[in-house]
Amino acid sequence: MNTKPLRLGTAYHGNRMPRHAREDLLDIATHGMDLVVHMFSHTDWDRHKMVMKDILEMSMEFGLEPWVDNWGLGGPPGDKSHFLAYYPDSHMMLSNGEMDPVRACVNSPDFRRFTKEWIDTVHFIGGRTIFWDEPHMPKKEADGKTVYGCACPRCKKLFEEKYGRPMPAFSDADAERFGTDSIVDYFREMTEYSHQKGMKNVVCVMLGSYGMSLDVVDKICSLPYMDNIGSDPYWVWEQMEKPDLNVYKFVLDGCRENLRVANQFGKDHNVWLQAFGNPRRREEDIILAAEAAYDSGARTILSWGYYGSESNDYAAKNPAVTWSKVCEAMQRIRNMERDRILAENRKLYLE
């Protein structure tokens, strides 16, 4: 028997006007959701801190549990890292000598201090759960070999001290291990700091070339103060290469893998439905995906993002229809959960 309560929600971003936020949050709440993920970028920190405090308070007023997303703090996903304008020597560098223009090095003491200051500010605006959004280390293929980051002077020095040899120009086992250890150590320090402030830590990871290897995922999951492990089996990009993709099976398999990892480490979970970039006349796939997520055993199910992510260039092609399907999907699985609980009660008390 699944004893985790069903939690449904969406990501909310693109608006910082409280009167519109109030209408949108009421819309989210009245469609059966109880969780909302708010972006809190460097721009929000600089320009909207008190507004975001009000928006988080509104969220809780409507019964929505707010999670706060580190959107673009150190670079993609999300915004480019504005932090780097103040600390240019904290740029991530690729192993071929190229500077990554938008990502910060997680071994930079300045970036770690900056992240802790961000955590302090999240706590001030009322955030009690941090959503660490899709951490990853960049790689790219060059002449059949893998160029990787970070290989800045700081990381090169740390690598040589650890392995007794210069950092290689192309990825090898030691370089992979060093990158893994770097990102895991960053999250060890940050999650310990936020835990000391009474906050919970949630992470969502992607696998594959953009995302993280299973080795990194396992090590992040094993951190004592990483409370919740998530993933986002987004199907639209897969459909571009495989038009006959079985969306139900694709999402079911992805969610089951997420639950396997979360259960292995005794952590809670979160899974995401794609509500951005959806092509016209494929919005019904959201219903299939939601039922697959529920059937997998997932009980914290969210969509990215509100109203088909209309405020972004990557919005669904028909945001209104997309949002209506998200709301229908959430209501369907809410009803499925009610039916499951009622059936269990009948079995216990009426037979």
Give percent above pLDDT 90 in the chain.
Answer: 89
- Quote the pLDDT of residue 215: 65
Helix axes 49-61, 18-30, angle to 10 degrees: 30
| Interatomic CA distance for residues 173 and 251, integer angstroms | 31
Q: Is the pLDDT of residue 95 over 80?
A: yes
| Interatomic CA distance for residues 268 and 226, integer angstroms | 9
SS3 of 128, please? coil
Q: Using alpha carbons only, what angle is made at residue 300 by residues 306 and 207, rounded to the nearest 5 degrees?
A: 85
Summarize pLDDT for 228-238 with one digit per residue, the tens: 999 999 999 99
Q: Are 301 and 11 in contact (CB under 8 A)?
A: no
State yes or no: cis peptide before 221, omega within 30 of 0: no
Q: Is the pLDDT of residue 62 over 90?
A: yes
Phi, psi of 10 (to 5 degrees): -150, 160
Q: How far is CA 227 from CA 129, 156, 230, 261, in A?
A: 10, 32, 10, 13
- Quote the pLDDT of residue 210: 45
Q: Is the pLDDT of residue 179 over 60?
A: yes
- Quote the pLDDT of residue 43: 95
- Provide the 10 A C-beta neighbour count for residue 97: 9
Q: Which residues sit opposite 281 in a β-bridge? A: none
What type of residue is 280?
R
Q: Is the pLDDT of residue 3 over 80?
A: no
Summarize pLDDT for 291-347 with one digit per residue, the tens: 999 999 999 999 999 999 999 999 999 999 999 999 999 999 999 999 999 999 999
- Quote the pLDDT of residue 1: 45
Comparing 106 with 135, the larger pLDDT belongs to 106
Q: Is the pLDDT of residue 129 over 70?
A: yes
Q: Are 103 and 149 in contact (CB under 8 A)?
A: yes
Give just the sign of the alpha carbon dihedral 50, 121, 93, 87. positive
Q: Is 208 left (phi over 0), alpha (psi -120 to 50) or beta?
A: left
| Interatomic CA distance for residues 89 and 292, integer angstroms | 45
Contacts of 203 (CB under 8 A, 6+ apart): 131, 132, 135, 187, 220, 226, 228, 229, 230
| Interatomic CA distance for residues 108 and 157, integer angstroms | 12
Reference 235, options 197, 299, 285; nearest CA is 285
- Provide the 10 A C-beta neighbour count for residue 217: 23
Q: Is the pLDDT of residue 211 over 60?
A: no
Q: Which residues sit opposite 231 in a β-bridge? A: 205, 271
- Quote the pLDDT of residue 138: 84
Give percent above pLDDT 70 in the chain.
Answer: 97
Based on its alpha-carbon atoms, the radius of gyration of the chain, rounded to whole angstroms, reads 21
Q: Using alpha carbons only, what angle is made at residue 222 by residues 232 and 300, rounded to the nearest 5 degrees?
A: 35
pTM equals 0.95
Q: Are 55 and 76 in contact (CB under 8 A)?
A: no
- Quote the pLDDT of residue 100: 95
Give just the sign of the alpha carbon dihedral 227, 233, 234, 237. positive
Q: Are 118 and 73 in contact (CB under 8 A)?
A: yes
What's the pLDDT band for 54 if we cut at 50, 70, 90? Answer: very high
Superfamily in which the 12-72+105-131+185-349 domain is placed by CATH: Glycosidases (3.20.20.80)
pLDDT, mean over the chain:
94
What type of residue is 54?
D
Q: Note the helical H segments in 125-246.
A: 153-163, 173-196, 214-221, 236-241
